[in-house]
Every structure is written in structure tokens, then in C-alpha cells.
Chains A and B, each alone.
Chain A
Amino acid sequence: MNDKNFHAIHITKDKCIGCVHCMSACPTRAIRVGDGKARIIDQLCIDCAECLRVCPHEAVHSHTTSFASLDAFDYKVAIPSTVIYGQFGPTVVPNEILSALRRVGFDEVYDLSSICELNCAATEEYLNEHPRPRPYITATCPVVVRIIQRRYPSLCGQILPIEPPREIAAKILRTILPKALGIPAEKIGIIHITPCPAKIVSINSPATLAKSYLDGAISIRDIFPQILKALRKSDEDAMMRHLFPETLFSGIGMGWPLSGGETRGLKSHRAVAVSGIRDTMRVLDEVEGGLLQDIDLLECTVCPDGCVGGPLGVENRFLAKSRILELVAAAGEHAVVDQKDVSRLYHKNFLSFDHPVTPTEPRPLDHDPARAIDKAKLREELVAELPLKDCGVCGAPDCRTLADDIVRGYARLEDCPFVKTAPKEKR
């Protein structure tokens, strides 16, 4: 599937009561309320899930993969986001969590922290070899990629073209496992476990790959009860995992899901980390205006505090962050990935995008420049007539957006409860 307008975020009509929480929260003004229901405009939605966070009626849901659907595969592999290590109490070590996931039903589970470290080392090489442009922007957050395609098209070329750890890990496994196991590639399911609704977007509708190496994304929230159950049943297993740790975790990679974690391992480059959708947009505006050129790498994650603040996690992000920081400290600063492996994969272009990020179709007021200008003028006149109270009663998030909708032909001035019209001619 590679539908450019594939979305993870949907509104369940039965549950939606047509309040305006989601509409006000949407940073790209992609939601309208009409006939008592909220509706998402596909071309504007970036799958940031701000609406999902604020909906009081659980009417916004995300399409993630169900565990049951994995039965289609003979061999099931999980690669959980390192956010998962922060979801359980301070006594549960990462090896126990990976082991519990095996008991939940995965044939094999791989830790991502070493691949995060590998990505960071590859990023360093890329920055060394490419002194321009500045800043590069990391591609880990699929929402950031999508928002750049839609709102900051001139920044597409500044996205650092190294695949995120989840795709690199899946690509390595996809290359090696079929031969190692003697199972046909299509019978091996490689699944990401994540607190993020947008990962399914990057899987079903990848911006930089012909096809994602992942087969699906399960939300931490969905699989959490099963992991908890598996953990509870296994005191002996816990002792085994404590005494015979089988996975070597990377301290550099472990902190990846915390804002600043992607760039913390950079040795000789100046990086800035931004988190939260509104701050990300503010900074991208500045970059588009030519600022921040003295920064080598800009890490943007639209969830607050980084992926750890993803809406499909379970533990509150502050506790999760604190736990992950403990694990980072425990794992230490030493590298677990061999620089020679990094160089080899990097120079084979194994870690690169298949193709650069391209902008989505722009959305001018009109495709005819002269008519677009006329519509812009009309929009200004409409704004002057509107009360600028941004009440949302018309079904648009604010008065300017209503004016925009009117000139695009999606709304009428009469939709505003404050404007008393004997509908004017200019409408």
C-alpha cells in the first residue's frame, strides 16, 4: 500500500458528539464539525494525534495492528520501541520485558537500543560528509516528515536521509532471518511495538521507501495487559533474566525516545532537540525563514518530551522518562556497536532512504494565479466581517479558517452565527 493520504487517525462517528475539543486542538486546522460530527480533512491531517489526546468521548482512534492479525505469519518478530522499557516499575529490567513478549506469542524479540546507537553513528558520518545544507532535520518522527511534506515543502531536502532505527532493524532482520531460519520472507512478520499512532502511517504509506520493512505496528497500550500478565506469572524467569542477561543494551541508544536522545550520541556536531507539535512548527517556520543555519542537526519529535510522550503508551511520560534515564545511566556511555559495522552498512547505502522526501501537492486558493489573488482579497474582506471570536460554532476552528473555507467553496458566511446577512453579493 502506498496511499499518500493514508491516515492512522480516524473519528468514530457513533461516539462523536460534535463538541469542538479536537477541532481547537488540531495544529494544522484539519478538523471541521458539521451535522453534529467532527470530520478530518485528509490533505491537512498530519497524524499528530493531538485530537486523540483531547477527545473526551474516545471518539478519536488510531488504526494500529491487532495481535490476532499476526496469525497470518509463520514466524513473528517483535522490535519494540525502547519506550517500552519505561512502562513498568523500577524492578522490571529490559531483558524481562523482552522475554515476556516472547511468552505473549512472539517467536523472537529484538532490542532496538543498539540500532539506535548505529543510527546515531551513521548520522555522524553523514553530517561529516555533507557540510550543507544546515540544519539537517532527523526523520525519526513520521509526523515531522509528514508536516514538512505538507507545510514546509522547501525543507524536504533538509531531512537527513538515514532511515530511522525501526526500519533499519527490520531491514537487517528481513535480510538475514529468511536464510537463517529457512522460512520464506513473506511468512516472517516483523512488528514494531510503539506508543505512536503515526508509525502505522510510515509503514503503510512510507515517505522514503518503496515499501516498509515492517509488517505492522502494535500499540503499547494494546499489548500492555498481556505483557503484564506474562511478567506476573514468571518469578523464575525474572530471576533468570536478572542473572543471565542475554541482550547487551546500548546506553547511547536507550535514551533515544527522550527528546534530545537521538542526538545525544553525536560527538562533533551541534544539535538542537525540539519536542511538541507547536514548538516543532515554530522552529520549522524559523528554519524555513533561513534561521538556525549554525545548527548541524535539528531533532524534532511532535510528542511532548519525545516518543516517551506518545499517546499510546501506558505509564505517564514523566515516570517513564525517569525510568529510562535510570536505564541509560545503568547501561553507561560505552558504544556497543562496532564502528566498522556502521561504516560498512553506511557506505553500502544500506541505511539510506530509497528516495528523497517529496512535497505533497500544494493547496493554493486556486490553481490559476490571478484567481488565487482574487480569492485572497475576498478572504481578507470576509475576515474583516467576521467577529474574530474563534468560537467554533460555524464548524471551523477559527474565523480566519472559516473565511478560507468560504473562498474555497466549503462553507458559507451564513455559517457564522454572528454575521447577520441578507447574504451579501460578495459572498
Chain B
Amino acid sequence: MSVAESTFRREFPVKGGDFAKAGTAACEIKELLKDLGIDTTTVRRAAIVAYEAEMNVIMYAREARMDLTVSPKEIHLIIDDRGPGIPDVELALTEGYSTATAEMRELGFGAGMGLPNIKRNADVFAIDSEVGRGTRLEITIRTNGHGKP
């Protein structure tokens, strides 16, 4: 069986501001990974990454596509959003830094955990952001036995 054959791919659209559906894509991703027999620890890491990434889109961007690719060895997630972009990526990657509005904080979001938390749970993390255009995150999580414990 070739590599391409044993790869699962699916796209999840996410709409900015759609708080009612917050977490839906992340949940679907999580269920899917369980169905694929991915180990519990890896599923948890992927769930945290997907949740944070989805929330970032809902809070800040206009829309995004979450593109999930799974092979037996790794989970690959690309989140490509159309939104304001991040002026200072390094600052956004600092724990505790947040630009969340009071309203978002009221809802329990915006503790400044988002991007750092995604990075912490990823084995490979890349971010590319352009102000006025959007942000693209590319994350790889290796399944157990292939990555971080």
C-alpha cells in the first residue's frame, strides 16, 4: 500500500465570530482521530491544538479552513485564515500575552494561552502571518512512538 493511500484528509471550514459553533471542528477532529485508532495522549494533544486554533479563528479572523491530514505516523493540521494577521508574531507566542477584548475574557477566552499552547503541543510548528491578510499555522503531531512522550 502506498503512502498516499493510507492518508486521510478532510477540510473543516470555520467562521469568524461564530461562537455558537465554537469547538465543533475540534470535536469532530478528536472523534475522527479516535476512530482512526490514534493513541489517547496524541489525541489529547491534537484536541488541544485544534481547539485553540479554532478559537483563535472564531475570536479574531473572518474565516478559515482547517485542513487535517492523518497518516498512521503523524497528524498534520493547517489552519489558513483570512483575517487581521498578527503584527508581532514573537510577542503573540509569549505565554500570557493576549489581545482579547473584555467580552472575550468574560466568556473565558483570551488568557493568552492560545498560540503558546498550540506550539507546546506540536512536534513541528510553523507560523506565517501577514497583517491585513491572514495567518497560516502548520502543525505536525507525531503519533505515539514517533514523537515526544
A contact set with B: CB distance below 8 Å: 153-154, 285-286, 288-292, 294, 359, 362, 364-367, 369-370, 372-374, 376-377, 380, 404
Contacts and interface: CB of A to CB of B under 8 A. Distances in A.
Given A290-B47, A290-B52, A365 B26 contact: no
B19 interface: no
Interface string B36-55: 11001101100110111000
A291 B117 contact: no
B8 A154 contact: no
A286 B35 contact: no
B112 interface: no
Interface in B16-47: 23, 26-27, 30, 32, 34-37, 40-41, 43-44, 47
A373 B7 contact: yes
Contacts of A285: 23, 27, 30
A289 B40 contact: no
27 contacts: A286-B51, A288-B44, A288-B47, A289-B23, A289-B26, A289-B27, A289-B30, A289-B47, A289-B48, A289-B50, A289-B52, A290-B47, A290-B117, A291-B108, A294-B108, A365-B35, A365-B36, A369-B6, A369-B36, A372-B37, A373-B36, A373-B70, A374-B5, A374-B6, A376-B8, A376-B35, A380-B10
Given A286-B23, A288-B30, A365-B35, A370 B72 contact: yes
Contact of A376 (B27, B36, B111): B36
Nearest to A295: B108
A398 to B, nearest CB: 14
Contacts of B26: 289
B71 interface: yes
Interface string B106-138: 001001000001000000000000000000000
A404 B48 CA distance: 25
Contacts of A380: 10
B51 A366 contact: no
Contacts of B52: 289-290
A271 to B, nearest CB: 15
Given A291-B108, A373-B8, 6 more contacts: A154-B44, A292-B108, A365-B37, A370-B72, A373-B72, A376-B36
Contact of A153 (B6, B40, B111): B40
B102 interface: no
A369 B70 CA distance: 10
A369 B30 CA distance: 16
A289 B48 CA distance: 4
Chain B interface category by residue count? 20 to 34
Contacts of A366: 37
A273 to B, nearest CB: 16
Contacts of B50: 289
Main secondary structure of the interface of A (DSSP, over half): helix
B34 A362 contact: yes
Interface in B69-89: 70-72
Contacts of B108: 291-292, 294
Contacts of B34: 362, 364
B34 to A, nearest CB: 7
A153 B34 CA distance: 10
Those 8 A-B pairs whose CB atoms lie nearest each other, nearest first: A364-B37, A289-B51, A369-B72, A290-B48, A370-B6, A154-B44, A373-B8, A372-B37
B8 A290 contact: no
A406 to B, nearest CB: 14
B36 A364 contact: yes
A288 B29 CA distance: 12
Contact of A154 (B7, B35, B41, B71): B41
B41 A362 contact: no
Contacts of B44: 154, 288
Contact of B51 (A153, A291, A362): A291
A186 to B, nearest CB: 39
Nearest to B70: A373
Nearest to B7: A373
Contacts of B40: 153-154, 359, 362
Contacts of B10: 380
Given A288-B47, A291-B108, A380-B10, A372 B27 contact: no
Contacts of A154: 40-41, 43-44, 47
Given A289-B48, A373-B72, A367 B23 contact: no
Nearest to B35: A365
A290 B117 CA distance: 9
Nearest to B30: A288
